[in-house]
Amino acid sequence: MTELLRGLPPLLASHLELVLLALAAAATISLPLAIVVARRPRAAFVVVTVAGVVQTVPGLALLALMVPVLAKTGWLSPFGFPPAVIALTLYAILPILRNAVTGLRGVDPAALEAARGMGMSPWQVMRIVQLPLAAPVIAAGIRTATVWTVGAATLATPVGQACLGNYIFTGLQIRNFTMLLVGVAAAAILAMTFDALLAATERALAGRSRRRALIPTAIFAALVVFVVGVLPALADQHGARARPSSVTATSRTAVTSVRIAGKTFTEQYILMEVLRARLESVGIAVDVAQSLGSTVIFDALVHADVDAYVDYSGTLWSNTMKRASGPPRWQVLAELEGWLAQAHHIHSLGPLGFENTYALAVRRDTAERLGLHTLVDLERVAPELALGGDYEFFGRAEWTAVKRTYGLRFARTTTFDPTLLYEAVARGEVDAISAFSSDGRIAANNLVVLADPGGALPPYDAMILLGPRVADDPRVACALGGLHIPVEQMREANAMVDRDQSSPAVAAAWLLARAAPIDESCKAR
């Protein structure tokens, strides 16, 4: 708990930075726009509708969408702060814009006519009459946007921006509910604080003494200064690691700090700790970007926003190279590694020694009773058996390929939530399930994975990838190169976290204790 609270200030600081910048940008765009369209009902309708459509895109999707968009334009880093701020800005525009338009259009027509009749220019009518009278409504819009943005900013984690979402995403994945709650509570308290401050401002604006509005505004301004100026400095003193420059270093000087990353499932949190421990043991400073989305993480590597992470050959083969499944394992690996090196200057350290792929698993006693070792053995008994799958399995190419290759026809197929799947087969609800081959729950539930001699399931070899900044660094390659993790060990490590609630760092230490030690010469380089 104290560890969690100590980690909070830097997350809180970058969360606030994100929120305040997005709100400032949204207000800068929305308010002039509202002023321009307020007198043109048709334009106002179009603008508010467009903002409304943006608003209907789910927050997570909008954030993820910014990554490829920014990667295409190439002006800004498609990773971390820029996509997060842009997406949150787009998100915050609607409430500010809509309230401003409503407020400006809702001003008493008699006041407007009197103002025009006494000789105010259109801009004077806006400044002296419309803006002050619409101020409480405009303030209410900013308040709504603020509360939304504080919440939506937690979704910036998967695009690589540190924020309170880090605790939420990680906590969910590794089932650390204390971590999850700290993240949620911090976001909620932040939202309520802003809400209360802005409500006070709004009340003061609606009342007649403008001077009273100065107090909450001043508190708000002080908070902004504190957050943007003071908090990061404090956070630095608490030992937060400085980010490595995201600019691709082309110089040949040895790398002294490396930014590693991981996706959003247990295995990735453990492997991140493995990489961190190995790099730190040779004296390289490590910075971590966790809980990244699957496509975001590869883009980040390409753009040198992260330097190393573990990916799976099949994912890159089909999702990034857009190739069809079918070629044998060695060919996938060879072509993939060649393509990564040539197209992106990404260096693969080769397969880690285990796969994390879709596989069919049965209970050990079922396997023994029916004499099941491979998917070939399944063909004759399948019509007697029930198969369970996660939400997507029965719609995926893997299932079609397995059915076709082995001529499988099950008595029935049932869809389960992934968290219930392993338990369902353990309790005998179904006889076989689609499993992830390195999942700890295979060992935990005493299941057996059936071999795939026909090669129907594409290979998903785990492999460490090094980005362009560190691809040629001998010390990094030396520290990470010698790793070999058999699938049984990976399963056990996953189970330590999923089943026993150990921390990913503990599971990583367990793995490293079984791995070959680092060559002493690495440290000397």
- The candidate with the shortest Cα–Cα distance to 432, out of 514, 329, 361, 326, is 361
- Calpha distance 410→428 (Å, rounded): 15
Closer by beta carbon to another protein, 111 or else 192: 111
Q: Which stretch binds another protein (CB under 8 A): 129-137, 224-232, 271-279, 315-323?
A: 129-137
Site for another protein in 192-221 (CB under 8 A): 208
Residue number with CB closer to another protein (75 or 123): 123
Question: Alpha-carbon distance 86 to 62, whole Å?
Answer: 9
Q: Which of 32, 52, 132, 328 binds another protein (CB under 8 A)?
A: 132
Q: Which of 128, 230, 254, 341 binds another protein (CB under 8 A)?
A: 128
User: Is position 61 an interface residue for another protein (rule: CB under 8 A)?
Assistant: no
Residue 72 vs 208, nearer CB to another protein? 208
Residues 370-429 that bind another protein (CB under 8 A): none
Least Å from the CB of residue 209 to another protein? 10
Q: Tabulate helix, strand, coil % of the chain (nearest 5).
A: 65, 10, 25
Decide: is 129 part of the binding site for another protein (CB under 8 A): yes
Rounded to the nearest 10 degrees, the angle between the axes of helix 487-498 and helix 266-281 is 110
User: Would you say 114 or 192 has its CB closer to another protein?
Assistant: 114
Measure the CA dihedral 90/95/98/103, to 10°. Answer: -140
The CB-of-113 to another protein minimum distance in angstroms stands at 6
Specify the stretch interacting with another protein by CB under 8 A; choose among 83-91, 125-133, 470-478, 495-503: 125-133
- Nearest partner of 139 among 88, 195, 87, judged by Cα: 195
Determine phi and psi for 69, rounding to 5 degrees.
-65, -45
Phi and psi based region of residue 283 (left: phi greater than 0; alpha: psi -120 to 50; beta: remaining): left
Contact 495, 441 (CB under 8 A): yes
Nearer to another protein, 208 or 412 (CB): 208
How many residues sit in the footprint of another protein (CB under 8 A)? 19
Residues 94 and 259: their CA atoms lie apart, in Å, by 36
**How many Å separate Cα 379 from the centre of its chain?**
40
Q: Which two tokens stand for residue 274?
A: 């493995």
Q: Please, what is the minimum distance in Å from the beta carbon of residue 38 to another protein?
A: 17
Q: How far apart are CA 398 and CA 360, in angstroms?
A: 11
Taking Cα atoms as reference points, which of 260, 487, 256, 274 lies closest to residue 361? Answer: 487
133 binds another protein, rule: CB under 8 A = yes
Shortest Å, Cβ 119 to another protein: 3
State which of positions 75-114 bind another protein (CB under 8 A).
108, 110-114
The reply on whether position 181 binds another protein by CB under 8 A is: no
Of 93 and 139, CB closest to another protein:
139
Give the interface segment with another protein, choosing from 116-124, 178-186, 352-360, 483-491 (CB under 8 A).
116-124
**Tokens at 129, concatenated:** 């009459």
Of 117, 229, 239, 371, the residue at the interface with another protein (CB under 8 A) is: 117
Residue from 28, 40, 46, 121 that binds another protein (CB under 8 A)? 121
Give the Cα separation of 152 and 63 in Å (integer).
9
- Does 119 interact with another protein (rule: CB under 8 A)? yes
Minimum CB distance to another protein smaller for 74 or for 117:
117
Among 118, 324, 513, 516, binds another protein (CB under 8 A): 118
Structure tokens at 355: 């796969």
Which one, 93 or 138, has the nearer CB to another protein? 138
Query: Is residue 1 involved in binding another protein (CB under 8 A)?
Result: no
Q: Which is nearer to another protein, 137 or 279 (CB)?
A: 137
- List the structure tokens of 451: 């071999």
Q: Which stretch binds another protein (CB under 8 A): 5-13, 118-126, 257-265, 427-435?
A: 118-126
- CB 106, min distance to another protein, A: 13
State the nearest-atom distance from the C-beta of 107 to another protein, in Å. 10
Identify any residues that bridge with 355 across adjacent strands, giving them in sequence order. Answer: 461
- Give one DSSP letter per residue of 435-477, joined into a string: EETT-HHHHHTTEEEPB-TT--SPP-EEEEEE-TTTTT-HHHH
Instruction: At 134, list the tokens.
Output: 């619409």
Of these, 7, 8, 24, 116, which contacts another protein (CB under 8 A)?
116
Is the sign of the CA dihedral 403, 409, 411, 412 positive or negative? positive
* Cβ distance to another protein smaller for residue 113 or 500: 113
Residue for token pair 């630095």: 236
CA gap 208, 45 in Å, rounded: 31
Residues in contact with another protein by CB under 8 A are: 108, 110-121, 124, 128-129, 132-133, 208
